[in-house]
Structure 1
Amino acid sequence: MSTLDDRFPDSNRNRFFSSGEPGERPKGRFYAAFEVAEPIENEERGEPVYLECAFADDVDQLVDTQMEPGRFWNKVSLSVLALDDESGIYANIGNSEPGDIVWFEVVVSPATVNEDNGMQYGQLLDAGERVHIHFRKFRGSTSQGSPIPPHYWLKGNPDRELNPNVLGGYSSMKSAGVAVFDVGQGASQALMYEDSGHFFPMLYVDVGGGVLQNLSTFPKNFKGFCPHDVPIILSHWDWDHWSSVCRFPDLLKSDWIAPLPPPKPIQQSLSWILRGLGRLSLWVRGMPPTYRTKSMLLELCTGKTTNDSGIAVTLFGGARGTKRCLLPGDAGYRYIPSVVANERFNALSITHHGGRLHSKQIPIPKRGARAMCSVGSGNSYKHPFWETIDAHHDGGWPTPISTGHYGSRPSHVFQPWNGPLRVVSDACPFAHPCSVGIPSI
């Protein structure tokens, strides 16, 4: 498997995104960022709490050199810490609200026989190791608590419109349907076009996959994404929605449209890689809240958390372009303007992999609508939740067809505009090193 190092030797990059061996995971003092979640999420038990961490010695030394941001994020050592419970977090965040980024100083040391309370991951594709995590100091929220100066955080310019050339050529093509790809506990979808009876991506919505605790859910036989220059819309910056760029760095050849990355180390590091390659267009508040082409509608979600302030995508198709498929990413439905406006949909990829809902609002289905779910079998979150499936049933949706649960893997779900929903375990009809082409019946 290729890595960022051998395919993009001149790009700004961080070894955290490598697909090679993780090497030694640094121990000692870290600056750790945590995003405060919606209250209902805090009631969940049995799930790890993730901290995005930058090695404190690196940060302190590199900030003093006043180097430019791309080089800074290339050099600082990054880790993810997964806490066994949340007691060290919520007892210390004070009056912080959902969407706030709070900062801690923590000390990571090797696990002992009697002391280990979490996992450390030195790369996104790392299996991790048990460690002991000690909370040394609560620093405060983003503006006061961040140890990293503001000019290192990538910010969008509200006066800069989305580059119409990114979507223009592809948005004028006639689409044939929507594919939800089997990437394990993560998400990747595509608007597909037809060529000689087969189907290929003309636009990706997320290019994620299972990572960290759910690394094993990614299908071992997944060969890659093709073609490599198709635009990518990133719904939001959670790593399970973009992590396949670590596995298949040719995705860096694509143009990306994304919401503003949160001021957390890992998302910022990737955003500076993409910015350094000239591949990233940010869509930020202050720009028009919707972007419409013949084949799609992009909506900036109205919530405060990373999940709920991203981009919701509606794809159009059919003979008159009246069929609609909603791809909400991880956003709560109440934060998607078209759902709030009671628009009706022919197809839906259920939000947040079928995880816990934050409101009772469900998109309205058209007659004969179908539902899909991007989820990894045996994932640590136990997605999808039955109460979430039941809520969609109550809203008029049928039981969703999930990825990765039928036949050999990868096992994708394909909804053509003019035909029944299909499960596809025999992807790519040609001899390309990829797994995202859909063969004809």
Structure 2
Amino acid sequence: MSFLREGPITLIARLVRSEALTNDDLVLQKANRVAFEFDAIDARMSADEALATIADRADRSRLAVLKILTTAEKFQYLADIGDVRDGQWYRINLLPRGKKPGPFAWASSLGDAGYEEIVPFVLDEIRYLFSEVDSPLSPVGAAVGNERALAQAIAEACKFPERAIGKSRAARNLLSGANSPHKIVVRDVGQASFCSAIDQHGNELFHLDAGWPISYNKKTAASKPRLKVSDVPVILSHWDWDHLHGYHAIAGLAGGIWIVPVQRLGPGAKLVAEKLATNNRLLGVSSANVSAGPLRLGRCKGKAGNLNQTGLCVQTTLQSGKTVLFMGDADYDLVRPRLSTLPDFIVATHHGAKFRGSVVSPRGGSGRCVVSVGKGNGYGHPSAAAVMCHSGAGWSMSFTCERNGIPRGSRHLGP
């Protein structure tokens, strides 16, 4: 039985993202609910036990993901914190739903196929501990000091594997032998991101992201047997679960070499990174652009600590000479290296969510854009405003979910 069903639960948790639910018609913006998502671990263990769990030498089911749904103001009040940002660590107490009033929460522990089971909770208490950019803090009491010491030990263990940093040259060497794709397949994986480069014979050349919906959005996945793909290289845009959960859920992905941005990690993401690094399958790109074969990879220059805006963006040249731009969840204005020519095709950033800045224009004034999104997802993606922005720039829009009478399914970019 999952430890989440044992009753009241206490987690040490890293905030990995906070996203307002899309509501383009909302009058009072402060009333908008925000999904606060955490990469977490059971707090009822010693530091040694926690570190063994993160390294996959102990019971991995003590790892969990958590979503709390409330307003930004309510979260700040409960946590007694002014500035909420990614990379903060918290101690969180959860109670079974119905035990008391409070913000709703949902958690899932790590199973054989990833984070699938979802357990409903109510938030009992949340205590801010520290941010990764803080200097070491002196404890203000024995209980708080012990919690902080455990969390700091966990945070230290969650650093990106050092032996996999600075691998831009290795990534360049690996990709230099790649053939130009015939097309890019944007796979229908529900509320997630997973694209594959395909040659004219249908063979997979490399993957862009490796996503599969985690428990919160499991209902958006196609009701078909799990995919099985080739163990070709995976280029990961950033370390969000809807972009990397396929490591656990899709056969074949764990066997490839992963080219990834060097970013701060939570306990569950570090387990993935550590396993790949141990098997010499992790190539971390810190800052250098990587140009090789048909690919150009660059680190987006967003605000430090923001996973979405500091990941890898990818420009791919097809056999036809046309180009595809893949931004992950980053704003188009952050594309690196700078575009030498406007793209013919794009995968919409952030599943069609709102973004800052302008949308990139298509070459020749028109092009095709695919939105990888799951119908009924918990964020309200895609945003009507973002879709209109893309259309207004000249992009012809298509969606992997059912929309406007068109059935769900994978979409192709190219040739």
CA contact (8 A) 1:183 1:410 kept: no
CA contact (8 A) 2:115 2:215 kept: yes
Which of 388, 399, 404 in structure 1 is aligned with 2:401? 404
CA contact (8 A) 2:314 2:326 kept: yes
CA contact (8 A) 1:62 1:72 kept: no
Tell me by how many angstroms 1:88 deviates: 5.0
- Aligned-pair Cα RMSD in Å: 3.0
| CA deviation vs aligned residue, 1:65-122 (integer Å, no higher than 9, x gap) | x769624676571122221214453334746475x41111111222235446222212
Distance in 1 between residues matched to 2:408 and 2:239, nearest whole Å: 24
Distance in 1 between residues matched to 2:158 and 2:67, nearest whole Å: 25
Instruction: Tell whether 2:355 aligns with 1:370.
Output: no
| CA deviation vs aligned residue, 1:299-349 (integer Å, no higher than 9, x gap) | 111113101100001110244x3x11101111111221356x584110011
Residue 110 and residue 35 in structure 1: after superposition, are their counterparts in 2 closer, same or farther (change >3 A)? same
CA contact (8 A) 2:81 2:128 kept: no
Instruction: Tell whether 2:175 aligns with 1:167.
Output: yes
Distance in 1 between residues matched to 2:363 and 2:176, nearest whole Å: 29
Residue 393 and residue 416 in structure 1: after superposition, are their counterparts in 2 closer, same or farther (change >3 A)? closer
Distance in 2 between residues matched to 1:68 and 1:137, nearest whole Å: 23
CA contact (8 A) 1:156 1:282 kept: no
Aligned counterpart, 1:216 = 219
| CA deviation vs aligned residue, 1:249-289 (integer Å, no higher than 9, x gap) | 4311111111124232221121112112221111113xx2x
Residue 44 and residue 239 in structure 1: after superposition, are their counterparts in 2 closer, same or farther (change >3 A)? farther
Question: Aligned ranges for residues 183-194 of structure 1 at < 5 Å?
Answer: 183-194=189-200
Aligned counterpart, 1:108 = 94
Aligned counterpart, 1:176 = 182
Question: Aligned ranges for residues 255-294 of structure 1 at < 5 Å?
Answer: 255-285=257-287, 288=288, 290-294=289-293
Tell me by how many angstroms 1:234 deviates: 0.6
Code of the residue aligned with 2:316 in structure 1: it is L
Aligned counterpart, 1:232 = 234
Aligned counterpart, 1:131 = 121
Aligned counterpart, 2:312 = 311
Work out the number of aligned pairs and report it: 380
Instruction: Tell whether 2:122 aligns with 1:141.
Output: no
Aligned counterpart, 1:31 = 12
Which of 80, 103, 110 in structure 1 is aligned with 2:65? 80
Residue 212 and residue 278 in structure 1: after superposition, are their counterparts in 2 closer, same or farther (change >3 A)? same
Distance in 2 between residues matched to 1:136 and 1:380, nearest whole Å: 22
SS at match of 2:363: strand
Code of the residue aligned with 1:262 in structure 2: it is R
Distance in 1 between residues matched to 2:167 and 2:180, nearest whole Å: 28
Aligned counterpart, 2:139 = none
Identity %: 20
Task: Point out the more displaced range, 345-354 or 27-36.
Answer: 27-36
Distance in 1 between residues matched to 2:412 and 2:120, nearest whole Å: 39
Aligned counterpart, 1:52 = 39
Code of the residue aligned with 2:308 in structure 1: it is N
CA contact (8 A) 1:188 1:207 kept: yes
Distance in 2 between residues matched to 1:379 and 1:312, nearest whole Å: 24
CA contact (8 A) 2:344 2:363 kept: yes
Distance in 2 between residues matched to 1:242 and 1:279, nearest whole Å: 14
CA contact (8 A) 1:310 1:331 kept: yes
Tell me by how many angstroms 1:51 deviates: 2.1
SS at match of 1:325: strand
Task: Point out the more displaced range, 298-307 or 238-247.
Answer: 238-247
Which of 118, 121, 124 in structure 1 is aligned with 2:105? 118
CA contact (8 A) 2:158 2:264 kept: no
Aligned counterpart, 1:8 = none
CA contact (8 A) 2:188 2:410 kept: yes
Residue 54 and residue 68 in structure 1: after superposition, are their counterparts in 2 closer, same or farther (change >3 A)? closer
Tell me by how many angstroms 1:365 deviates: 0.6
| CA deviation vs aligned residue, 1:141-163 (integer Å, no higher than 9, x gap) | 12446432524522446554442
Aligned counterpart, 1:334 = 333
Distance in 2 between residues matched to 1:254 and 1:263, nearest whole Å: 20
| CA deviation vs aligned residue, 1:361-408 (integer Å, no higher than 9, x gap) | 21121124111110112222221111001111232222x111132799
CA contact (8 A) 1:350 1:372 kept: yes
Code of the residue aligned with 2:175 in structure 1: it is L
Structure 2 residue ranges without an equivalent (≥5):
23-28, 137-147
SS at match of 1:210: coil
Distance in 1 between residues matched to 2:93 and 2:100, nearest whole Å: 17
CA contact (8 A) 1:73 1:269 kept: no
